[in-house]
Amino acid sequence: MDRAPRTPGRGRRPWAAALVSALALALPLAGAGQATAADVNNAKNAGFESGLSGWTCSANSGSVVSSPVHGGAAALKATPAGQDNARCSQTVAVRPNSTYRLTGWVQGGYAYLGVTGTGTTDVSTWTPDSSAWKQLSTSFSTGSNTTSVTVYTHGWYGQQPYYVDDVSVLGPDGGGGGDPEPTVPATPGGLTVSGTTASSVTLAWNAVSGATGYAVYRDGTRVTAVTGTSATVTGLAAATSYSFQVAATNAAGESAKSTSVSVRTRENGGGGGDLPRHAVTGYWQNFNNGAAVQKISDVPGQYDIIAVAFADATGTPGAVTFNLDSAGLNGYTVDQFKADVRAKQAAGKKVIISVGGEKGTVAVNDSASATNFANSVYAVMQEYGFDGVDIDLENGLNATYMTQALRALSAKAGPSMILTMAPQTIDMQSTSNSYFRTALNVKDILTVVNMQYYNSGSMLGCDGKVYSQGSVDFLTALACIQLENGLDPSQVGLGLPASTRGAGSGYVAPSVVNAALDCLTRGTSCGSFKPSKTYPALRGAMTWSTNWDATAGNAWSNAVGPHVHALP
């Protein structure tokens, strides 16, 4: 969106030889026997629940963390640095002439698990960096005089930190006082529903001591297993009731199932709470660029969603804040602004904060900035009472981390959060584009994508033909791309300038907007392009801005608003 009218216009991998060597070492020993029922875990402090007790890490590279963990409440984090590969080890008592199974759970950067001093053949195994917990496993035999071995883990030079949990040296009791044998864990408590969509339910529960995982049941049938204390069950039917339970698991077995919780999935159509079936979105300018200066209370009632433009970037990557331009808005105070937001909401309207715009510099390019974005937007929503957020990043976005940020924000704000987007036309030409991918990634919590049909020039329609902006065909043929490539019709809106002064190019008369809406929803008033089917659930239209609309006597909202609300 324009603050002023404008014109169109990983690091290196380990050496191959080292990898080949590691792979060779990872091969199991011929004739290695299987563990028996009498075997025990001879490792001490195998889950790092007692800190680093029993373990030694090179160059102080190891520490104990509470997240991520595979089981219990702790895990090892080891960080390679310089010429140190973050080797952590412990001495384990074993019996001579015996076979042992060495296992451990790892996550993160390159991770190795191995044993030395066996008296026979020392072995190791490894895995490339992994974003989820992964079990490493190998076997070894002890020599005739071997009473102890050294078990170790390490990472790789220049790689990311790695995590280790639940190490096991399973075999005959070496007399070294290993960890006690596990018992069946207790039943999890505190099972709650932390989020729902039309096709999924997110559950959370309390951790159980001694559990290494949890099984989730839907209507009595086991549907998934996780290592943490939350899970999202997907593939559900919309507007349908389900019952869920959870059980704790470890090597000794599975607990009894928890008390059940019942939940009904949401209707189709993503986020939006009690938003009307057909809605009009208008951007409200928190600055004076020559358009009519407004208070929120001045915005006409035809607007169902008012997007406050814009949040401001901070010095923290990904984080935003909001600063009311009281001086530029003729002394409009924060208290008046908040009161006007509440009054609009009492009248059934939604007021959201928009992030981005033509000059927006917010960048969400990694997990840290994604977390900063979610936390800061939620704080702004709490402070000013906003119903949600609009993503209007015209200088590009990272689909992976923006998805992460929006899901984290949704988890905080709840299922009634309004989530809108205002991509430029080029951003929605293909599902491979970052904006389109992001929209599809968050489809279950997405309210509407109001693509900007202006400042773009000619573009391809869904029929492969080129259309020039400023016509019914331009609006309908480009909307068709979104409608036929994954977005629900209720998640598609037409974004247009409210007046010729609202954008550098692309203004069309309100009658053209209404004709495009009729073509898409009713199959009437089309130009040369006519969609293969109608989309009566199309969400509606958006304009930049309520201020430019007011400058032109509210001609846009007076014409388009009633038409949108009368759509089928």
pLDDT of residue 175: 81
Same domain, 454 and 546: yes
What tokens does 307 get?
């997007």
Domain contains 5: no
Q: Are residues 373 and 242 in the same domain?
A: no
**Does 199 share its domain with 307?**
no
Tokens of 523: 């199959």
Domain end among 220, 236, 264? 264
Task: With respect to residue 269, please indicate whether it lies within any of the assigned structural domains.
Answer: no
**What pLDDT, on the 0 to 100 scale, is given for residue 29?**
35
The span from the CA of 497 to the CA of 356, in Å, is: 17
pLDDT for the residue 159 = 87
b/e burial code for range 136-145 (CB count within 10 A of at least 16 → b):
bebbbbbeee
Contacts of residue 400, defined as CB under 8 A and 6 or more positions apart, other chains included, come to: none
Q: How many other CB atoms sit within 10 Å of the CB of residue 444?
A: 20
H/E stretch holding 30: none
Q: How far apart are CA 433 and CA 427, in angstroms?
A: 6
Can you spell out the DSSP letters for 196-231? E-SS-EEEE----TT-SEEEEEETTEEEEEESSSEE
Query: Are residues 241 and 289 located together in one domain of the fold?
Result: no
Domain boundary among 207, 236, 264: 264
3-state secondary structure of 492: strand
Could you tell me if 559 and 511 are in contact, meaning their C-beta atoms sit under 8 angstroms apart? yes
Name the one residue in this structure whose structure tokens are 């480009």.
Answer: 478
In this structure, the number of other CB atoms found within 10 A of the CB of residue 245 comes to 22
Same domain, 485 and 520: yes
Within a domain: residue 159?
Answer: yes
If one counts every other C-beta atom within 10 angstroms of the C-beta of residue 20, the result is: 10
Tell me which H or E stretch contains 435.
Answer: helix 434-441
Q: For residue 326, how far is the Cα from the chain centroid?
A: 35
CA-CA distance, 280 to 248, in Å (whole number)? 48
Same domain, 30 and 59: yes
Letter string b/e over residues 98-129, b meaning 16 or more CB atoms within 10 A of that residue's CB: bbbbbbbbbbbbbbbbbbebbbeeebbbbbeb
270, part of any domain:
no
The 3-state DSSP composition of the chain as helix, strand, coil percent (nearest 5) reads 20, 30, 50
Asked whether residue 198 is assigned to any structural domain, the reply reads: yes
**Structural domain count, the chain:** 3
> Is the pTM here over 0.95, yes or no?
no
Beta-carbon contacts of residue 99 (< 8 Å; ≥ 6 apart): 32, 33, 35, 139, 140, 141, 142, 171
Q: Is residue 108 part of a domain?
A: yes
What pLDDT is stored for residue 16 in this prediction? 33
Rounded Cα distance between 519 and 526, Å, is 5
Show pLDDT as tens, one digit a residue, over the chain (568 residues): 655 443 323 233 333 333 333 333 333 333 333 444 467 889 999 999 889 989 999 999 999 998 999 888 889 999 999 889 999 999 999 999 999 999 999 999 899 999 999 999 999 999 987 788 999 999 999 999 999 999 999 998 888 999 999 999 999 988 865 455 567 899 999 998 877 677 788 888 999 988 888 999 999 999 998 988 999 898 888 768 899 999 998 877 899 999 998 887 765 555 555 688 899 999 999 999 999 999 999 999 999 999 999 999 999 999 999 999 999 999 999 999 999 999 999 999 999 999 987 666 788 999 999 999 999 999 999 999 999 999 998 777 899 999 999 999 999 988 889 999 999 999 999 999 999 999 999 998 999 999 999 998 899 999 999 999 989 999 999 999 999 999 999 999 999 999 999 999 999 999 999 999 999 999 999 999 999 999 999 999 999 999 999 999 999 999 999 999 999 9
Tell me the CATH number at 234: 2.60.40.10
Q: Compute how many other C-beta atoms are within 10 angstroms of the C-beta atom of residue 200.
A: 15
Q: Which of 201, 235, 264 is the C-terminal boundary of a domain?
A: 264
Q: What are residue 477's phi and psi, to 5 degrees?
A: -70, -30
Tell me, yes or no, whether 287 and 233 share the same domain. no
Identify the CATH number of the domain in which residue 417 sits. Answer: 3.20.20.80
Same domain? For 549 and 480 the reply is yes
Structural domain contains residue 509: yes
Query: Domain check: are 449 and 524 in the same one?
Result: yes
- Is the residue at 87 inside a domain? yes
For residues 317 and 463, state if they share a domain.
yes
Q: How far apart are the first and last CA of the chain?
A: 29
Phi, psi of 469 (to 5 degrees): -65, 155
Domain that holds residue 201: 192-264
Are residues 351 and 499 located together in one domain of the fold? Answer: yes
Q: Is 394 a catalytic residue?
A: yes
CA distance 80 to 86: 5
Instruction: Tell me which residue has tokens 């969603």.
Output: 305
Predicted pLDDT of residue 414: 86
Residues 487 and 344 in one domain: yes
